């Protein structure tokens, strides 16, 4: 008998232990302490995460072994990955016709994509129960290496079309592993927990549609989102957080406060602004147009349609085609819904002779545009197909770029302050030099524009991150990133440096030297699209808009029908003074009306009873502050108007 050679294992505390070759990681854990063996979920072997059932075979050098627990990110990932398998096993027991696509771990949980069975949320309980049975059975989870051919035969025999396709895409010499727990086998790279019994707290969360391989032309699948945590208390805390996020979702609040609606009959991604939402939007539009005019912007109006020719000149046709609605033929013209306002503004620039004295020329518009966004990405007002952008194109000389850019950044800061937006981050969005299709080809131009933007940001002392592949097709951008209630990152404001469109449109100005020069264009959206901004604000304020933006700023509540007339009078008086007011003259008790106004998040409730009516007074309640006492109507008018203009 040949004696097995020893494996030298270096543990995390740098101690070295020797074990017989072939020892498993779990035996090593056991040899250190029973407690460790109980809590370890996997191990890092020379940096690579592995199953505890793996044996150490290399006798030569030392092997670094570090046991991973659930407080380690990799550990939690292994745990959730096993949870995905347990969920799939439960599904295959309950609905044997189901076919399995992929089931990866994601931030805060995992999902599995399924086909051939129609899932509904009311099946979740049964699946969770079956998972419990599988956990109780405590099946060991076994890793098995298969050759590509063997794996193909194995999964083809089971008609697992998705797994077969995945294997077919792997190279011939790929090491393929499957994981087995009880009767369930899944193609998987692992690693996994040692046995199903290690799983504790888990929950199925939601259903969503998904495409096989994320490709809209391939088969549609059903995705079950779920999550798992080491402890029940952690799961509970997470579910509570999810609930709070859902409570803040602008789609939910938008419905409750009657701000906007979407109708299948109108079309996907085409929102309808209800009176309340329209009031908020109008307040924002007035605010930003006034502010921009005070800063030297020239507001214009241009049509939502443009000829295909225009977009061929701009380059949208070549680089942005996929985001555009298809063209329509009329007489001898081919027209498209514009996806951006820039080409129209280029033509405004070109409508007259320009000299250096006219620059910077800041052409602004609340410009409506249409984009063909993928249906799966549409979300309430956040991502739509018809949108209005607080847009401007600043035409300037190369020397003016820096100061104009700074002015725009200052404007962003000012607007965010007025809207009380504090949670945002700057992102320098660069091109991906390998993506030849998306970006115009001109290395020199890109290098120049990108380094100019980077320098300006550094000079301004703004903290920013950089992202490749996020630039516009014509130039790099400074994007202002925010997070939605559901945790998704979106761009709200954008400032873009463009040397491309001025060339394409052959823009010129006469310089001091009397010669023709080419201007530069800064594209910028401050409020961004009305749609995305209002979606963001709804979530930011949880529906409780500050006074200056609230759809209804004051609601007059009549105590009895005797005060209906006076209530109407107060409302009209306020309306005339530019305060968005309404009455509640329903046949309800005053307590009910106050609660209703609170639910509607109305900032001011003006209660009018017999006494108030007689003295031309109102009893004032403020959202969050309660009763402020009785006031003369005139005094209240002065106060609320001052408060509105202060945007407090």
Asked if 384 touches ligand TSB (CB under 6 A), the answer is: yes
Instruction: Find the part of the chain contacting Zn ion (CB under 5 A) among 46-54, 325-333, 339-347, 426-434.
Output: 339-347
Nearest-approach distance from CB 607 to ligand TSB, in angstroms: 40
β-strands 272-273, 260-261 pairing = antiparallel
Residue recorded with tokens 């000012």: 414
* Torsion (CA) 441, 442, 443, 444 in degrees, nearest 10: 180
Least distance from C-beta 531 to ligand TSB, angstroms? 5
Residue 90 binds ligand TSB (CB under 6 A): no
Based on CB atoms, which residue is closest to Zn ion, 523 or 532?
A: 523
- Which range of residues in 19-27, 123-131, 300-308, 389-397 is near ligand TSB by CB under 6 A? 389-397
513 neighbors 506 (Cβ within 8 angstroms): no
Binding mask 494-513 for ligand TSB (x = CB under 6 A): x-------------------
Is 29 near ligand TSB (CB under 6 A)?
Answer: no
Options 190, 343, 502, 528; binder of ligand TSB; rule CB under 6 A: 528
Beta bridge mates, 203? 227
Within 331-360, the residues that bind ligand TSB by CB under 6 A are: 340, 342
Q: How far is the CB of 441 from Zn ion (least distance, A)?
A: 20
Rg of the chain, C-alpha, whole Å: 32
Is there binding between residue 342 and Zn ion (CB under 5 A)? yes
Number of residues near ligand TSB (by CB under 6 A): 21
Q: Is 525 in the site for ligand TSB (CB under 6 A)?
A: yes
Contact status: 323 vs ligand TSB (CB under 6 A): no
Residue 505: φ, ψ to 5°? -95, 5
**C-beta atoms surrounding 315 within 10 Å:** 17
To ligand TSB, the closest distance from the beta carbon of 566 in angstroms equals 44
Q: How far is CA 234 from CA 76, 84, 124, in A?
A: 12, 18, 20
3-class SS at 450?
Answer: helix
Q: Is 64 in the site for ligand TSB (CB under 6 A)?
A: no
Distance CA 300, CA 290 (A): 13
Q: Which is nearer to ligand TSB, 389 or 452 (CB)?
A: 389
Question: Cα(42)–Cα(189) distance, rounded to whole angstroms?
Answer: 14
- At residue 173's C-alpha, the angle toward residues 53 and 83, to 5°, is 35
C-alpha–C-alpha distance, residues 520 and 453, integer Å: 13
- Between CA 319 and CA 546 the distance in angstroms is 41
| Residue 277 touching ligand TSB (CB under 6 A) | no
Q: How many whole angstroms separate alpha carbon 157 and alpha carbon 154?
A: 5
Map the footprint of Zn ion across residues 510-549, applying CB under 5 A.
Answer: 523
User: Of residues 371, 407, 427, 571, which one binds ligand TSB by CB under 6 A?
Assistant: 371
- Identify the H or E element spanning 6: strand 6-10
Interface segment toward ligand TSB; rule CB under 6 A; list 41-49, 52-60, 491-499, 632-640 = 491-499
Note whether 495 and 405 are within 8 A (CB). Answer: yes
Q: Is 103 in the site for ligand TSB (CB under 6 A)?
A: no
Binding site residues, Zn ion, CB under 5 A = 342, 523
Binding site residues, ligand TSB, CB under 6 A = 340, 342, 371, 373, 383-384, 387, 389, 391, 393, 472, 491-492, 494, 523-525, 528-529, 531-532
């Amino acid at each position: 008998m040949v004696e097995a050679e020893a494996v030298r294992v270096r543990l995390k505390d740098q101690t070295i232990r020797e074990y017989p070759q072939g020892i498993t990681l779990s035996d090593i854990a056991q040899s250190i302490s029973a407690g460790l063996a109980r809590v370890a979920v996997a191990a890092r072997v020379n940096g690579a995460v592995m199953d505890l059932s793996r044996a150490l075979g290399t006798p030569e050098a030392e092997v670094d072994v570090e046991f991973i627990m659930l407080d380690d990110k990799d550990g939690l990932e292994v745990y959730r990955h096993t949870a995905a398998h347990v969920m799939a096993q439960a599904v295959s027991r309950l609905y044997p016709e189901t076919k399995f696509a992929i089931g990866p771990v994601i931030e805060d949980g995992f999902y599995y994509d399924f086909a051939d069975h129609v899932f509904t949320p009311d099946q979740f309980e049964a699946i969770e129960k079956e998972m419990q049975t599988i956990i109780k059975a405590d099946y060991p989870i076994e890793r098995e290496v298969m050759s590509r051919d063997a794996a193909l035969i194995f999964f083809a025999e089971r008609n697992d079309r998705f797994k077969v396709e995945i294997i077919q895409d792997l190279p011939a010499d790929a090491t393929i592993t499957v994981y087995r727990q009880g009767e369930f086998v899944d193609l998987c790279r692992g690693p996994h927990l040692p046995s199903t019994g290690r799983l504790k707290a888990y929950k199925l969360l939601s259903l969503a549609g998904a495409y096989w391989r994320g490709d809209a032309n391939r088969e549609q699948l059903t995705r079950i989102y779920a999550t798992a945590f080491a402890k029940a208390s952690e799961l509970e805390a997470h579910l509570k957080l999810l609930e709070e996020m859902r409570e803040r979702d602008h789609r939910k609040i938008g419905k409750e406060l009657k701000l906007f609606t979407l109708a299948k009959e109108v079309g996907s991604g085409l929102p309808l602004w209800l009176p309340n939402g329209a009031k908020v939007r109008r307040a924002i539009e007035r605010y930003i147009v006034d502010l921009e005019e005070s800063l030297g912007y020239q507001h214009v109006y241009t049509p939502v349609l443009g000829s295909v020719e225009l977009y061929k000149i701009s380059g949208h046709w070549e680089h942005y085609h996929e985001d555009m609605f298809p063209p329509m033929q009329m007489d001898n013209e081919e027209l498209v819904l514009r996806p951006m306002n820039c080409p129209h503004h280029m033509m405004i620039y070109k409508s007259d002779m320009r000299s250096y004295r006219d620059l910077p020329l800041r052409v602004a518009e609340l410009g409506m545009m249409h984009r063909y966004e993928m249906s799966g990405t549409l979300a309430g007002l956040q991502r739509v197909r018809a949108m209005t952008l607080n847009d401007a194109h600043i035409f300037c000389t190369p020397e003016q770029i820096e100061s104009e850019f700074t002015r725009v950044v200052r404007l962003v800061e000012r607007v965010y302050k007025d809207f009380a937006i504090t949670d945002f981050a700057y992102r320098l969005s660069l091109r991906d030099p390998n993506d030849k299709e998306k970006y115009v080809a001109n290395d020199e131009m890109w290098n120049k524009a990108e380094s100019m933007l980077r320098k300006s940001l550094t000079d301004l002392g703004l903290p920013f991150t950089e992202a490749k592949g996020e630039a516009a097709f014509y130039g790099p951008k400074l994007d202002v990133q925010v997070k939605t209630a559901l945790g998704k990152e979106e761009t709200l404001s954008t400032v873009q440096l463009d040397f491309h469109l001025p060339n394409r449109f052959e823009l010129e100005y006469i310089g001091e030297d009397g010669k023709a020069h080419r201007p530069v264009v800064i594209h910028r959206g401050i409020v961004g699209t009305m749609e995305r901004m209002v979606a963001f604000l709804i979530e930011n304020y949880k529906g409780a808009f500050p006074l200056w933006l609230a759809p209804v700023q004051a609601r007059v509540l009549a105590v009895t029908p005797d005060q209906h007339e006076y209530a109407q009078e107060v409302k009209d008086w306020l309306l005339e003074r530019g305060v968005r007011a309404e009455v509640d003259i329903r046949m309800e008790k005053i307590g009910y009306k106050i609660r209703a106004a609170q639910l509607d998040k109305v900032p001011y409730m003006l209660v009018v009873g017999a006494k108030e009516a007689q003295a031309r007074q109102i009893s004032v309640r403020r959202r969050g502050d309660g009763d402020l006492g009785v006031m003369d109507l005139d005094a209240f008018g002065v106060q609320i108007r001052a408060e509105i203009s202060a945007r407090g």
